[in-house]
Amino acid sequence: MTDDQNSAPAPFHMPRIGDPAPEFTAVTTQGDINFPSDYKGKWVILFSHPADFTPVCTTEFVMFASMMDEFAKYNTELVGLSVDGLYSHIAWLRTIKEKIDFNGHSDVEVTFPLIEDISMNVASKYGMIMPGEDTTKAVRAVFVIDPEGIVRTILYYPLSLGRNFDELLRVVKGLQTADAFNIATPADWRPGDKVIVPTAGSCGTAKDRMGGEEGAMECQDWFFCTKDLPAEEVEAAIRKG
């Protein structure tokens, strides 16, 4: 092996949508966890942040903690990670509660688990370390994992860009709505908006749709049909988990 090969950074692995979430055990601020088996039957947002005691991460933790109950309405748990140690995590979360006021939120207590990952073992399993961005900090990764432990959505942000929390909640609602009603959601969808009916699988079905014979849907062409799905019906279905 050459010197160049010895010095080359190790390749990172990134799970794909539809893959089982990589398994790990870890120490957290809420005790040890065995992931994802401890969360079977629940949706999970597993997210990484670059470092404790950094301003963008601090604002994000205020928002995650303040929305924890809202995510819980949709059977969704939060699990955070950085490559800092447990005592650093504890000190930082205490500082957030005692000193930070952001976006109208203060005295915020973070009660979801924050993983200690000094070894970068978990971050490496999930492809959270991206050498082009930083070799010692995890980027702002988000993995939405379903109740069967399958990765359903992956979002990556650079170190400089804070996450949009309305979008994270919209993703959870959208995934659960698609599962519950066997539909797809269009761009900018929110509960109460029209949803997309699966594309016709045969010429006969396409003809029936265009002729208005497939029920209450609106078809602009054979492949593009939508229907109403009231927000109350969506909320009733997905709040059951």
> pLDDT for 117-146, tens place per residue?
999 899 999 988 877 776 667 789 999 999
Q: What is the average per-residue pLDDT within 166-180? A: 97
Please tell me the distance from the alpha carbon of residue 59 to that of residue 166, in angstroms, as a whole number: 14
Please tell me the distance from the alpha carbon of residue 149 to that of residue 145, in angstroms, as a whole number: 6
Asked if residue 161 has pLDDT above 60, the reply is yes
Asked if residue 8 has pLDDT above 80, the reply is no
Using pLDDT thresholds of 50, 70 and 90, give the confidence band for residue 204: low
Predicted confidence at residue 206, as pLDDT, reads 55
Predicted confidence at residue 129, as pLDDT, reads 80
Q: What is the average per-residue pLDDT within 39-60? A: 96
Active site residue 219: no
Asked if residue 3 has pLDDT above 50, the reply is no
Q: Which two tokens stand for residue 23?
A: 């398994």
More confident residue, 119 or 207: 119
Q: Give the residue carrying structure tokens 């942040």.
A: 49
Residue 16 labeled ligand binder:
no
Predicted confidence at residue 222, as pLDDT, reads 80
Q: What is the average per-residue pLDDT within 159-185? A: 96
Asked if residue 12 has pLDDT above 80, the reply is no
Asked if residue 101 has pLDDT above 80, the reply is yes
Question: What domains are defined for the chain?
Answer: 3-164 (3.40.30.10), 182-238 (3.30.1020.10)
Q: What is the average per-residue pLDDT within 26-55? A: 96
Q: Which of 63-67, 80-84, 182-186, 206-210 has the lowest mean pLDDT?
A: 206-210
User: CB 209: neighbour CB atoms within 10 A?
Assistant: 22
pTM (predicted TM-score): 0.88
The DSSP symbol for 169 reads H
More confident residue, 212 or 236: 236
Please tell me the distance from the alpha carbon of residue 78 to that of residue 69, in angstroms, as a whole number: 10
Asked if residue 219 has pLDDT above 60, the reply is yes
Predicted confidence at residue 103, as pLDDT, reads 94
Q: Which residue in 57, 203, 219, 225 is the catalytic one?
A: 57
More confident residue, 216 or 19: 19
Neighbouring residues of 168: CB distance < 8 A, sequence distance ≥ 6: 45, 142, 155
Predicted confidence at residue 25, as pLDDT, reads 97
Predicted confidence at residue 7, as pLDDT, reads 46
Return the C-alpha torsion angle 59, 145, 171, 177, nearest 10.
Answer: -150
Q: Which of 124-133, 147-156, 198-207 has the highest mean pLDDT?
A: 147-156
CA geometry: angle 79, 81, 85, nearest 5 deg: 130
Please tell me the distance from the alpha carbon of residue 26 to that of residue 89, in angstroms, as a whole number: 14
Name which of 151, 145, 76, 66 is nearest 109 in CA terms.
66
